[in-house]
Amino acid sequence: MNAPVPTRPFGYWAFIIFRFNWPFYAAVALALAIGAFVLPHSPLFEQCSNGPLRSCAWLAFWLAAFWGVGSLGVSEIVYGVSKVFELDWLDAFLPSRPTRWLNIHCGFDPASRALRRKYPSPEGLAIELHAPDLITEASIQRARGWFPSEVSARTADPRRLPVADGSRDCVFLLFAAHEIRDRAARNAFFAELNRVLEAGGRVVLVEHLRDAANAAAFGPGVFHFLSRATWMEAARAGGFVILREFPLTPFVRGFVLEKWNAPETGAHAGETYE
């Protein structure tokens, strides 16, 4: 029997998200300090104390407070309380245990270690996406520096994966693919996933969506996520069909894609990799 995934203390994931995005939370804290201590005493604010300006100012103050604190709370629920990285939920969607799996991440990798426990195989492989022209978020650079992966990973451009044609039976994409912001590059990446998968191979995609639940939880931060329609487009461009779609939490959606036909976007077929 595989050893269980180590239990993280409550608050661990909120701390992780805070640390990766500390400039944002510092800006929120500064805005709240200004709202609490400066605006109520400014002459302009006093002149409009009973008007719409006062109401708008306090609405902005409370929204900033809610989204600042609430986004950390939701992050703890999504990544910690839900136990999403313990991966027990995969049993319902992958009846055949993958042996030649590929886990793809962007530098912060809480999944590869758990995948090795769940699907032990010498052919399991981790890849870290690295493309300075595509993946530009400063939070990713902080993640790579502060939390190096516990599992050795190859680095690769998402448009050119160092994996042989048809050599993988399953690809895991857990909270990573949204970092490819460019539409053409994202579609090319899904074409690469098609290339490296065997016939009938599957992709397990897990992401926040740009939807009402995440807008309520993250406020303007929801625009960092992609819409369901965007993921459907990428799947079609890559030559995949949607086998299953399921909620993991009210804020996170999972998809199981199956390789169906050739991708609409060209991939680097026929190349040799070790």
Mean pLDDT per 10-residue segment, the chain (274 residues): 60 80 80 71 59 68 78 88 91 92 91 94 93 75 66 86 96 96 95 96 97 92 95 96 96 97 63 45
pLDDT given at position 1: 42
pLDDT given at position 119: 96
pLDDT given at position 19: 80
> Is there a single domain that holds both residue 23 and residue 126?
no
> Is there a single domain that holds both residue 43 and residue 104?
no
> Is there a single domain that holds both residue 30 and residue 148?
no
Q: Match 């690295």 to its residue by tokens.
A: 130
Residue 230 within a domain? yes
Residue 186 within a domain? yes
> Is there a single domain that holds both residue 77 and residue 93?
no
> Is there a single domain that holds both residue 153 and residue 75?
no
Residue 16 within a domain? yes
> Is there a single domain that holds both residue 70 and residue 126?
no
> Is there a single domain that holds both residue 53 and residue 138?
no
pLDDT given at position 32: 77
Q: How far is CA 95 from the centre of its chain?
A: 24
Other Cβ atoms less than 10 A from the Cβ of 133: the count is 8
Largest Cα separation within the chain, whole Å, is: 73
> What's this model's pTM, rounded to 2 decimal places?
0.83
> Is there a single domain that holds both residue 255 and residue 165?
yes
pLDDT given at position 155: 87
Residue 225 within a domain? yes
Last residue of a domain, one of 62, 81, 100: 81
> Is there a single domain that holds both residue 130 and residue 253?
yes
Residue 1 within a domain? no
pLDDT given at position 273: 44
Residue 4 within a domain? no
Q: What is the CATH number of the domain that holds 223?
A: 3.40.50.150
pLDDT given at position 44: 57
Domain count for the chain:
2
> Is there a single domain that holds both residue 47 and residue 139?
no
> Is there a single domain that holds both residue 92 and residue 133?
yes
The answer to whether 137 and 14 have CB atoms below 8 angstroms apart is no
Region at 9 (left for phi over 0; alpha for psi -120 to 50; beta for the rest): beta
Q: What domain range is 21 assigned to?
A: 12-81
> Is there a single domain that holds both residue 66 and residue 193?
no
Residue 3 within a domain? no
